[in-house]
Structure 1
Amino acid sequence: MTTPSDHSLVGEECAELRRSLDVGLARTDGRLALLAQRNDQTDKDVTDLAARVAALEHARWPLPAVAALCSLGALAVAVWQSLGR
């Protein structure tokens, strides 16, 4: 048989467990909110970086065009040297 003091002890321990659970859940919620914020910031950074890479790719010269310009320049220098001598 339990005494009234045992009942009050059980009630106090249950209240303590409930408080511990509430604190743990609050901490978990805070950590999840921080992770969600960091995830949003990372998504924004990735989107910005993708836009910068796309702009750089659009502005670059293709290698065949650079090769053609170099060869035309070399041809012009060769013709100029042959006519100059």
Structure 2
Amino acid sequence: MDYGATISTTDGHEHTCDYCGAEISVSVAKQSGHNEREDYYCPECNKRYHTRASLPIMPQNVKLISPRTDGKTDKYQN
């Protein structure tokens, strides 16, 4: 068994949505050698983003830091 694969870590980052300007924080679980592409969505406009993680990213792992700044209410067409 790969010892590194038995240890999970939490990672995350913050960024600004390219479409609506909202600030987003996402936290993910990672394991050495077991990270796959996982999608998550902007809570304001629903634009899809992706990162590498060992588990699916649940909506409660994506937090809105500040709301959208573009003054619109539309949703992004992924």
Higher helix fraction (1 or 2) = 1
The higher radius of gyration belongs to 1
Do these two structures clear the TM 0.5 threshold for a shared fold by scoring above it? no
Query: Which has the higher relative contact order, 1 or 2, with Cα contacts under 8 A spaced 6 or more apart?
Result: 2
TM-score, normalising length: structure 1: 0.18
TM-score, normalising length: structure 2: 0.19
